[in-house]
A and B are shown apart, each in its own frame.
Chain A
């Protein structure tokens, strides 16, 4: 029966569709963002890492909620404060037929941080660690100081065959060196047009259900939706929020949604005595009000998050009170989204010495996050309600990020208040704490994206303690405490909402939504 159905489906699709879709078990995916290379170590960015996950495996995998699960390593544990041991899986084969062992791990560690011309390398996960091969199936990693994030860092490293240790990015893009141990194997890549994968029958894990996967990059949102409606692709990611309602009602489609690790928040200038885009209402210069925690708290209370989520985001977001949604490692049980309280906000402003408010211009990108410009406009109106006369300027991301990070004459951030987003690549709270709230410090590599230059010795101390705590429970508690200080007490940033991502598939398929926003063919299942 199944065979007959497949035969009919095959015949029908052969008649109607392109030969690419002729096989019954082909999955065609319309992608919003195309990877820049097949080389798994070339560009450490979401579309590339998502693709690499199909072809390659890692010692430790991250599941759909970014929890760590065994991959090419079957177990890992710290054997003392400075050493971790990984036991490797036996009997795994690369798609070129060679066996997987410790040499391949060493080769990957050697190659990953040193790919020429890499626009964003994996060095940040590998530096400070000394990898050692103990025997063919045991690896030890040493660090100078206790390093609890070892497993998370290792879970980002794609394992290549040791034969490919000197391969160039071109060798991977052409398929010459592209041998992996992942669920799919590489067939061809025509940049801008299609990327074809085939099932890897020797995959050690759960057998993938698709014989063949074709990724088609369709960057334009409306075109991507149209391609799905037309049946040219079976599945798309990055469904535009404006289409979600309509697609939900379409009986031929099925939507999958999941909260992501990305928070949309506001950075506030906390390092200048006079902030360039803030003045008194008459235009005269005033001391930067954002230095006062009461003003920052007032801004947070002024935001009606429920309304913003309902109207601007069409319900596709979750109001935020901290850096990561509930359920992630290291989130604080004490922090809830600030309730809308304009009267309380006005009182705080008055107490801080601004009973009549002030004038402020806020900035944000208009093509980076879902509805970014609209969110900022809504928030600005809410600020105006409590007496802070707020105007908005949004710009394309390529211009915005330069100015927001280093646009001022002394290479410091240019704006007074910006809307930005942060996805926690590690899936736990240390990533945003380190990058967004920790004191900006080049030498220590802290606060690299701290565009408000919030700085608190108290939080820094707790965070430093957390980053050295190997015991998971202790670290989780310390990260939560650091968040309590950074956001609860000091309002270093103002969280707005957690982004919810939407994927759409034709009826009969569903997607296991991932919090890291990646699109995996492995996650597209039949129901």
Chain B
């Protein structure tokens, strides 16, 4: 068992090391950050000074070794643009992105599941066809376009909701959150819905398929035979069973929700990680890009490692096979 864990641990370390190399070198061959940062009036001496200060006069492998040395001490470098720790800047933005993704996830369940169940119960009814067509649109319309259309309709034409930004926040345990204020919620509604759109469509399809399958199961027939009301059959028996795949898939999709927030955050000027990343890419703020990607890599590696370990605990066959290799 411990041999297995140690081996997996070593593999994870190798993955992180290789990824850091690929990311660092990949980011460092594009463009010259100084061209983005410097005032055009600067003369050659000032340009050289900035290049030296940012360490860009060193060969890439030296820069990489320097990065690794600092990264091992938890320092992922200083942002070229802001001059502050890249890690700190990203962590500052995590709550905004995280709460947006959470609300989007919630919306996906609250809106997606009932619609999916309705469509699953009467697959040929007009209402079901409308729902399914809607879910195709949800899949295929580009996020930025839908976002702008929402702003045009709900903020500009109707004036119901604020168009952009995050609104009021309150501090909970030192973290600024906006879902606890009315203003914050009003600001969050459109971006969260925009972000959730794809997931809602996904959940509708999952719930529909699940419902159609469940409706023919014996336990549903039995419940009906017992004389239970249709509401109770659906709400208790069907729903319980179709939620298993929905929760599994949404768990997996949470990562992509955070990754896809880049577009939504730009359209709605939402001050999250995605917007920080896209600004960093535009300005060639290499430390932020590298730190961001390293954090993502680390998160995925840790999740996979935990899953692997759990798996081996739960399923002895994995262990045995591994030992027999």
Contact = CB atoms under 8 A, between A and B. Distances in A.
Interface stretch (A333-341, A421-429, A505-513): A421-429
Interface residues of A, number: 62
A431 interface: yes
A355 interface: no
B41 A445 contact: no
A263 to B, nearest CB: 12
B284 interface: yes
A346 B252 CA distance: 64
Interface stretch (B65-73, B115-123, B262-270): B262-270
Contact of A119 (B38, B41, B164): B38
A124 B50 CA distance: 12
A45 interface: yes
B151 A226 contact: yes
B84 interface: yes
B45 to A, nearest CB: 6
A84 B37 CA distance: 32
Given A401-B31, A401-B36, A449-B40, A219 B266 contact: yes
Classify chain B: how many residues form its interface, as a range: 35 or more
B37 A120 contact: yes
A191 B92 contact: yes
B37 A230 contact: no
Interface in B260-280: 266-269, 271-272, 275-276, 279
B93 interface: yes
Contacts of A119: 33-34, 37-38, 50, 54, 80-81, 83
Interface string A217-253: 1111011101101111000000000000000000000
Interface in B237-281: 266-269, 271-272, 275-276, 279, 281
A169 interface: yes
Interface string A436-479: 00000010011011000000000000000000000000000000
Contact of B93 (A16, A36, A37, A192): A192
Contacts of A80: none
Contact of A405 (B32, B33, B148): B32
A17 B161 CA distance: 9
A191 B279 CA distance: 12
Interface in A94-151: 116-121, 123-124
Contacts of A37: 82-83
Contact of B271 (A124, A191, A405): A191
Contacts of B114: none
B39 A232 contact: no
B199 interface: no
B165 A232 contact: yes
Contact of B167 (A18, A222, A399, A405): A18
Interface string B53-72: 11000000000000000000
Nearest to A121: B46
B271 A406 contact: no
Q: Which one of B35, B40, B84, B152 has the highest number of Cβ atoms from chain A below 10 Å of its Cβ?
A: B40
A190 interface: yes
Contacts of A192: 93, 269, 271-272, 275-276
B138 to A, nearest CB: 21
Nearest to A425: B41
Contacts of B151: 223, 226-227, 230
B182 to A, nearest CB: 9
B162 A232 contact: yes
A527 to B, nearest CB: 24
A422 B162 contact: no
A513 to B, nearest CB: 21
Nearest to A122: B39
A423 B40 CA distance: 8
Contacts of A36: 81-83
Given A218-B269, A223-B151, A19 B183 contact: yes
Contacts, number: 175
A223 B46 contact: no
A399 B33 CA distance: 9
A194 B169 CA distance: 12
Contacts of B271: 190-193
B44 A191 contact: no
A402 interface: yes
Contacts of A219: 266, 269, 275, 279
Nearest to A421: B40
Contact of B267 (A220, A229, A232): A220
A401 B40 CA distance: 11
A124 B43 contact: yes
Interface in B2-41: 30-41
A232 B283 contact: no
A445 B40 contact: no
B162 A18 contact: yes
A406 B168 CA distance: 46
A43 interface: yes
Contacts of A169: 83-84
Contacts of A229: 155-156, 163
B163 A230 contact: yes
Contacts of B205: none
B43 A232 contact: no
A493 to B, nearest CB: 14
A120 B152 contact: no
Contacts of B272: 192
A119 B42 CA distance: 11
A222 B164 CA distance: 11
B221 interface: no
B282 interface: yes
Given A18-B162, A121-B49, A232-B164, A223 B148 contact: yes
Contact of B44 (A232, A402, A442): A442
Contacts of B281: 398
A220 B42 CA distance: 28
B155 A230 contact: yes
A224 B45 CA distance: 38
Contacts of A218: 164-165, 269
Q: Which one of A20, A119, A120, A230 has the highest number of Cβ atoms from chain B below 10 Å of its Cβ?
A: A119
A216 interface: yes
- Shortest beta-carbon contacts, A-B, top 5: A192-B271, A445-B43, A401-B35, A119-B37, A230-B155
Given A190-B176, A445-B44, 9 more contacts: A36-B82, A116-B83, A218-B269, A222-B267, A230-B156, A231-B159, A398-B282, A422-B40, A445-B45
20 contacts: A37-B82, A117-B78, A118-B50, A119-B80, A120-B46, A190-B271, A191-B82, A191-B92, A220-B269, A223-B268, A223-B269, A227-B163, A230-B156, A367-B282, A397-B35, A398-B281, A398-B282, A398-B283, A401-B32, A401-B36
